[in-house]
Structure 1
Amino acid sequence: MTAHDARLHAFRSDLADARLKGEVSAERFVAGRPARISASVADIRNAPRADAGVNTQALFGDDVLVFEDAEGWAWIQAERDGYVGYVANTMLGGRDHAPTHIVSVPRTFLYPGPDLRFPIAGQLSMGSTVTVTGAAETRGTHYAVLPSGEAIIAGHLRPIGEIAADYVAVAETFLGTPYLWGGTSGFGIDCSGLVQLAMRMADKNVLRDSDMQAASIGEPLEPGPDYAGLRRGDLVFWKGHVAAMTDAETMIHANGHTMLVSREGLKDAIARIGYLYGGPTGFRRP
């Protein structure tokens, strides 16, 4: 009855999002319950089991809709990019406060109070959103204070709505970050996760997986002979992979070759990747 992508639409044979009624077949339709990610990073899995594969991740402060909560697992859809999957229900909380700030550095620490000498209470990735209700200064260091009384280095945040000018410059701050299949955070990230998070910080909300990005970001490009005409910010796609050009000849990508976010020459990457996966499948300009 449907050609909907199950990664982006919440439907199963027994249960579906009420907004899909009439479009998909299901025994029961429910409206999603609003919730918010309360864990530093929440793995979104393809089944409600701890050993199930991780398709993607949600970050602290991300809003989700919950369609089912059973036996310790919630079936959710992330509101920001529409991704559907299962998270441990201990990683969900309410939407008690409207977020005011976003983490703007790859990683930062959460302290139990405004003092960097305190044992940390947690850690947050770039893209995590928080509510700042106060400010404090201890020994010359400025802190943003959250409703819980916890504190973050103020310089690691920026107000929501203040955007980066160059998404590639954001991606470059992740150089050396470990590659993680399904990762979307400063603690571990994959190729399309890097593109998505960097673009988000530049106020460009894009879809999650590389095939989705290859079909939807910007406009398709046809480079000239020997890949001439590419410029900073252009995207190069392979089957299951994406990289962003940092200039006409060099790209940045999270990759399983170095297992890091790395720079690599485009022609070197094409030669290296080709014997396993073939040549580039497309180019796009955001």
Structure 2
Amino acid sequence: MTALPDRRLNAYRPDLAEEALRGTVDAARYVSGTPATVSEPVVPLRPRPDEAAGIDTQVLFGESVTVLDRTDGWAWVKSAFDGYVGYVRETALASGTGAPTHVVAVPRTFAYTGADLRTPAAFALSIGSRLTVVGESETRGTRYLTLEGGRSVVAGHCLPAGAPASEDYVSVATRFIETPYLWGGRSGFGIDCSALVQLSMMMTGRTAPRDSDMQAAGLGTPIERGELHRGDLVFWKGHVAIMEDEATIVHANGHTMSVARENLDAAIARIGWLYEQPTGYRRP
């Protein structure tokens, strides 16, 4: 019997499936979907249309999605960034897709109501948020970028779209130190282990799958523990950590409930009683 495609990355239900799955899965109807843009700062992507459902991941301000269905205030979407499928509130989406000119390049920043740090902050933005800039200004020596809709962000907190924040994704990951751990989190306000890898790599122009099992299966190449150095990955069942150096990991974890540094040997001993030994090591 042929295994069905991974539901995290393939949109199908008995009544509806994405057009790309025609001939692969059975559904009453197939659709290509319509483009939309995330219009709220950080939006939970849920496995079912229910606020009580845990979150699988998050989509960020300015990211593009394909909307496959809209029912009772919920939209069933597929992320254009990593292909993840889930449900978001319709109110978190704007129709169509724009052409982002910039990306937020610091863990967190504010969108102000005016081009001045003394004006009220309208909302906060996470690293990785996509922005469409329509103008620039300067107030008391600080440059601001004006967004569609009139909000302003500090220019020094942003980079042009496509420009890497660093060549070293580990240096990006360490900027998240003490960020709260959040299951399914994928932002500078709360993040989980695999999103730390994915988001840090994204900011250096690299791509990574969303979940740790996907990363363990195909991100980079397998190596032995004795080969570990900066930037390599250590996997446990359901967990991933980044090597900062030959002895230290950086990971978003439920022990400290934050992104933290930890000695690798100590982490293996601490984690082992519950999750056994590491399942593998990879060099992305």
Q: Same fold (TM over 0.5)?
A: yes
Superposition CA RMSD, Å: 0.9
**Partner residue, 1:3:** 4
Shift of 1:94: 2.5
**Partner residue, 1:117:** 118
Structure 1 letter corresponding to 2:125: L
Task: Tell whether the 8 Å contact from 1:245 to 1:252 is kept in structure 2 after alignment.
Answer: yes
Residue 216 of structure 2: which of 209, 214, 217 is its match?
214
Shift of 1:96: 5.5
User: Percent identity over the alignment?
Assistant: 56
Instruction: State the alpha-carbon separation in 1 of the partners of residues 205 and 59 from structure 2.
Output: 17
Instruction: State the alpha-carbon separation in 1 of the partners of residues 214 and 121 from structure 2.
Output: 37
- Does residue 108 (structure 1) correspond to residue 109 (structure 2)? The answer is yes
Unmatched runs of 5 consecutive residues or more in structure 1: none
Task: Tell whether the 8 Å contact from 2:112 to 2:119 is kept in structure 1 after alignment.
Answer: yes
Instruction: State the alpha-carbon separation in 2 of the partners of residues 241 and 189 from structure 1.
Output: 13
Instruction: State the alpha-carbon separation in 2 of the partners of residues 57 and 107 from structure 1.
Output: 15
SS of the residue 1:173 aligns to: helix
**Partner residue, 1:182:** 184
Task: Tell whether the 8 Å contact from 1:233 to 1:246 is kept in structure 2 after alignment.
Answer: yes
- Does residue 77 (structure 1) correspond to residue 78 (structure 2)? The answer is yes
SS of the residue 2:241 aligns to: strand
**Partner residue, 2:145:** 144
Aligned pairs (5 A) from 1:130-209: 130-163=131-164, 164-209=166-211
**Partner residue, 2:49:** 48
Instruction: State the alpha-carbon separation in 2 of the partners of residues 88 and 132 from structure 1.
Output: 26
Structure 2 letter corresponding to 1:100: T
Shift of 1:2: 4.7
Instruction: State the alpha-carbon separation in 2 of the partners of residues 96 and 62 from structure 1.
Output: 8
**Partner residue, 2:242:** 244
Instruction: State the alpha-carbon separation in 2 of the partners of residues 57 and 161 from structure 1.
Output: 21
Structure 1 letter corresponding to 2:175: T
**Partner residue, 1:97:** 98
Deviations 1:249-269 (A, max 9, x none): 000000000001000000000
- Does residue 31 (structure 1) correspond to residue 29 (structure 2)? The answer is no
Deviations 1:71-103 (A, max 9, x none): 010000001100000000000012353101000
- The alignment covers a number of residue pairs equal to 282
Q: Which runs of 4+ in 1 moved over 4 A?
A: none
Instruction: State the alpha-carbon separation in 1 of the partners of residues 3 and 235 from structure 2.
Output: 28
- Does residue 264 (structure 1) correspond to residue 262 (structure 2)? The answer is yes
Q: TM-score, normalised by structure 1?
A: 0.97
Structure 2 letter corresponding to 1:133: V
Task: Tell whether the 8 Å contact from 1:2 to 1:24 is kept in structure 2 after alignment.
Answer: no
**Partner residue, 1:282:** 280
Instruction: State the alpha-carbon separation in 1 of the partners of residues 187 and 52 from structure 2.
Output: 20
Task: Tell whether the 8 Å contact from 1:2 to 1:23 is kept in structure 2 after alignment.
Answer: no
SS of the residue 2:281 aligns to: strand
SS of the residue 1:161 aligns to: coil
Q: TM-score, normalised by structure 2?
A: 0.98
Identify which range, 135-144 or 270-279, moves more after superposition. Answer: 135-144
Task: Tell whether the 8 Å contact from 2:36 to 2:97 is kept in structure 1 after alignment.
Answer: no
Task: Tell whether the 8 Å contact from 2:230 to 2:244 is kept in structure 1 after alignment.
Answer: yes
Instruction: State the alpha-carbon separation in 1 of the partners of residues 111 and 178 from structure 2.
Output: 22
SS of the residue 1:115 aligns to: coil
